[in-house]
C-alpha cells in the first residue's frame, strides 16, 4: 500500500515492497473481504434502463467457488490455461476469481477479436477451457476442431450444444473451495500483446502482478481508496488497463467497480454512466477523453462527481490536459506502462506531481530510466528508449513458450519497452511514441504524439493521427489524417489552415505537409489509434499505389 506523504521525494523514499511468500489473487480480491464484510459491495452493473445491480463480496466468493468446482470437475487443473471471452460484467469477475482459486491461468480475450485472432491465441496458450457468451461460442464453432486442447466451454447465456451453463454452475452447490496454495511467482495470468514485430506474444504474469500494480493505481487516483470512491473504465477488462488498473485493484482495495457494456465508446453514453452510477474515479484512455472533449457543456448537462481521472496507453497531450482542468474541474493524472510491466510512471496532482505533456515520474518501488542502445541511462534532455529495471513485482515472468523473445526484451537488467522518450531536468518522462511510430524528416526525429496533440487543439478537429510518409528529399514528411468535428466540412482551404495551425504552434519541421480527412479513426480494443493502418496507406500513396 502507498502511504500518503507530503512530497514525491518522501513518497518514493519511504516505500518498500512487502510481497508475502504465499499469495493468491483470489484470496486478495475476494475471500478476505468476504470473511470480514460479506455484504460489502464489490461490483455495480450499470443498466441503461433501470437501476444498477450489485454483487457483494460474499456472493463473489460463493459463485466463484462453485464455478471453480465445475471447472475442476471438467478437468481443469493447476497451471491449465482458461480463456475468458467476455464483456465487462459480474460473470467476468467471477470467472477470474474462480480461475485464480484453482491455481489455473486466466487468458482474457476481447470479444471484438475475429476468428483467426482467437484461434491463434487459444492455440498458442493451449487453453483447456473457455468461458464466453453465445456470440463467443458462435465465433468458436468453426475452429473448435482445430483446437484439440480446448475441451470445455462454459456459456453465460445458458447451456448450448457442447457448452455448460454458467448460471446453473454458480447458482447452487458446495461453495467452500479455498484458494490454491500459490506463491507470488506462480503463473496466474496471460495477456497477449502484439508489440511492434512478429505475431502476438503471451505475456505471462505471476500472482504478484496485482501487488505490483497497487502503488501506481493509488498514485494516479490521488491516494485511493477514500470514502465514497467508485471505479470505472471504458477499457475492456480483457486488456491490462481494464483488468489490472481497475477491476482487480478495485476489488483488492474494497472500492466498488462499475461494469458497463458498450459495443463502442460513445461520449454521451459514457457521461451518462458516470452520472447514473456515481463514478468517483475513472481510468479513461486519451482517445476517449478527446471524444468527451467534443461534447459541449459537460458541466451543465451532466451531474458528475469525479474525484480523480487517470489516463494512459498513449500520450494525453497538453490540449486535453488543459481542457479537463477547465471543463471537468480536475487535473488528469497521466501514467505509463505496458502489458509486460505496467504502471511504472505516474502523475499525482494531490502532491504536485503533474506536468502537462509529461507522463509522470517513477512510481515508488520501480526504477525507470531512458536508456541508449547499450543499456546506459541517458542524461536529461537526451532521447532514448524508456526502460524498467528488474527485479520488479509488476514485471512479466516470460513470453509464453518464447524464450528468444523474452531474452530480446532485455538489455542487461533493463526491460526495454520499445517506446521512445526523454526525461527533463526534474525527472519527468515525456513520451515520443513507439520505435516504429517516430517520424524521421530532414534529420529530425519527430514524435507523432506532440503533432496529434496540436492538431486536436484546432477547433475543427475531433481526432487525429500523424505518420511519416516516405519522401525522396526529406526521408519522410509528416502526414496527418483528421476526423472533423460535427458540422465541419472538409476542404483544401481547411487542410491548409490546419497545417498552418501546427506550423505556427510547433515548428516548421513538425507541421503536416499533407492533411487528409477521414470519416473515422481506427482504434484498438484498448482505445489507441492504430497508426500502422495510416503508415501503410501513406507508404502506398508514396509508391503510387491505391488502397484503403
Domains and CATH numbers, the chain: 20-26+35-206 (3.40.50.12780), 437-542 (3.30.300.30)
Share of the chain above pLDDT 90, in %: 77
CA distances from 153 to 130, 191, 294 (A): 5, 20, 42
pLDDT of residue 525: 62
pLDDT for 361: 98
Share of the chain above pLDDT 70, in %: 97
Q: Of the ranges 265-269, 385-389, 423-427, 504-508, which one carries the lowest mean pLDDT score? A: 504-508
Position 156 scores a pLDDT of 97
User: Residue 144: what pLDDT?
Assistant: 94
pLDDT band at residue 196 under the 50/70/90 scheme: very low
Burial of 353: CB neighbours in 10 Å, binned 0-12, 13-18, 19+: buried
Higher pLDDT, 122 or 196: 122
Q: What is the pLDDT of residues 299-351, one digit of tens each?
A: 899 999 999 999 998 778 888 999 999 999 999 999 999 999 999 999 999 99
> CB-based contacts of 175: which residues, under 8 Å, 6+ apart?
61, 62, 63, 65, 66
Its pTM stands at: 0.85
Mean of the per-residue pLDDT values of the chain = 93
pLDDT of residue 245: 97
- b/e code 377-392 from CB counts within 10 Å (16+ = b): bbeeeebbbbbbbeeb
With CA atoms as reference, report the closest residue to 516 among 524, 540, 527, 525.
Answer: 540
Residue 369 pLDDT > 50:
yes
Confidence bin at 112 (pLDDT 50/70/90): confident
pLDDT at 139: 93
Q: Calculate mean pLDDT across residues 500-513.
A: 85
* pLDDT band per the 50, 70, 90 thresholds, residue 193: confident
The span from the CA of 280 to the CA of 221, in Å, is: 10
| CA end-to-end span of the chain | 49
- 31 has a pLDDT exceeding 80: yes
From residue 411, give the alpha-carbon distance in Å to each of 134, 408, 416. 45, 8, 7
122 grid coordinates: 487459444
- Mean pLDDT on 524-545: 83
Amino acid at each position: 500500500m502507498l502511504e500518503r506523504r507530503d512530497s514525491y521525494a518522501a513518497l518514493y523514499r519511504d516505500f518498500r515492497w512487502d510481497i508475502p511468500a504465499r499469495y493468491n489473487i483470489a484470496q486478495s480480491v475476494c475471500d478476505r473481504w468476504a470473511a470480514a464484510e460479506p455484504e460489502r459491495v464489490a461490483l455495480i452493473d450499470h443498466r441503461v434502463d433501470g437501476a444498477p445491480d450489485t454483487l457483494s463480496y460474499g456472493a463473489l466468493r460463493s459463485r466463484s467457488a462453485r464455478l471453480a468446482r465445475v471447472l475442476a470437475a471438467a478437468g481443469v487443473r493447476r497451471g491449465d490455461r482458461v480463456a475468458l471471452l467476455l464483456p465487462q460484467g459480474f460473470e467476468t469477475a467471477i470467472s477470474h476469481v474462480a480461475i485464480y482459486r484453482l491455481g489455473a491461468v486466466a487468458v482474457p480475450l476481447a470479444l471484438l477479436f475475429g476468428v483467426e485472432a482467437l484461434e491463434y491465441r487459444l492455440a498458442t496458450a493451449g487453453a483447456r477451457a473457455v468461458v464466453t457468451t453465445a456470440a463467443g461460442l458462435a465465433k468458436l464453432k468453426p475452429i473448435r476442431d482445430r483446437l484439440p486442447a480446448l475441451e470445455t466451454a462454459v456459456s453465460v447465456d445458458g447451456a448450448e450444444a457442447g457448452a455448460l451453463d454458467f448460471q446453473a454452475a454458480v447458482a447452487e452447490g458446495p461453495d467452500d473451495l479455498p484458494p490454491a496454495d500459490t506463491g507470488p511467482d506462480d503463473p496466474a495470468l496471460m495477456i497477449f500483446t502484439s508489440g511492434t514485430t512478429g505475431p502476438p506474444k503471451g505475456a505471462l504474469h505471476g500472482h504478484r502482478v496485482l501487488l505490483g500494480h497497487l502503488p501506481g493505481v493509488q498514485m494516479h487516483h490521488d491516494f485511493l481508496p477514500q470514502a465514497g470512491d467508485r471505479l470505472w473504465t471504458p477499457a475492456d477488462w480483457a486488456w491490462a488497463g481494464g483488468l489490472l488498473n481497475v477491476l482487480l485493484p478495485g476489488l483488492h482495495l474494497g472500492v466498488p467497480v462499475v461494469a458497463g457494456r458498450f459495443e463502442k465508446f460513445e461520449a454521451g453514453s459514457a457521461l451518462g454512466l458516470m452520472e447514473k452510477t456515481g463514478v468517483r474515479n475513472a481510468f479513461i484512455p486519451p482517445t476517449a477523453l478527446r471524444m468527451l472533449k467534443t461534447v459541449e457543456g459537460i458541466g451543465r448537462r451532466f451531474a458528475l462527481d469525479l474525484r480523480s481521472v487517470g489516463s494512459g496507453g498513449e500520450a494525453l497531450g497538453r490540449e486535453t490536459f488543459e481542457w479537463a482542468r477547465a471543463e471537468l474541474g480536475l487535473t488528469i493524472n497521466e501514467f505509463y506502462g505496458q502489458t509486460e510491466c505496467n504502471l511504472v510512471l505516474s502523475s499525482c496532482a494531490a502532491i504536485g506531481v503533474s506536468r502537462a505533456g509529461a507522463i509522470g515520474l517513477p512510481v515508488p518501488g520501480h526504477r525507470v530510466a531512458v536508456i541508449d542502445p547499450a543499456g546506459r541511462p541517458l542524461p536529461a534532455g537526451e532521447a532514448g528508449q524508456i526502460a524498467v529495471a528488474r527485479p520488479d513485482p509488476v514485471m512479466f515472468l516470460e513470453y509464453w513458450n518464447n524464450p528468444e523473445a523474452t531474452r530480446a526484451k532485455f538489455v542487461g537488467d533493463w526491460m526495454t519497452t520499445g517506446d521512445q522518450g526523454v526525461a527533463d531536468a526534474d525527472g519527468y518522462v515525456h513520451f515520443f511514441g513507439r520505435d516504429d511510430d517516430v517520424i524521421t524528416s530532414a534529420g529530425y526525429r519527430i514524435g507523432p504524439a506532440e503533432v496529434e496533440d496540436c492538431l486536436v487543439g484546432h477547433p475543427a478537429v475531433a481526432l487525429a493521427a500523424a505518420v511519416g510518409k516516405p519522401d525522396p528529399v526529406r526521408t519522410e514528411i509528416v502526414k496527418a489524417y483528421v476526423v472533423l468535428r460535427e458540422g465541419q466540412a472538409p476542404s483544401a482551404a481547411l487542410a491548409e489552415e490546419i497545417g498552418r495551425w501546427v506550423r505556427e504552434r510547433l515548428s516548421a519541421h513538425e507541421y503536416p505537409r499533407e492533411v487528409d480527412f477521414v470519416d473515422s479513426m481506427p482504434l484498438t480494443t484498448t482505445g489507441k489509434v492504430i497508426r500502422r493502418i495510416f503508415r501503410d496507406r501513406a507508404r502506398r500513396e508514396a509508391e503510387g499505389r491505391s488502397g484503403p
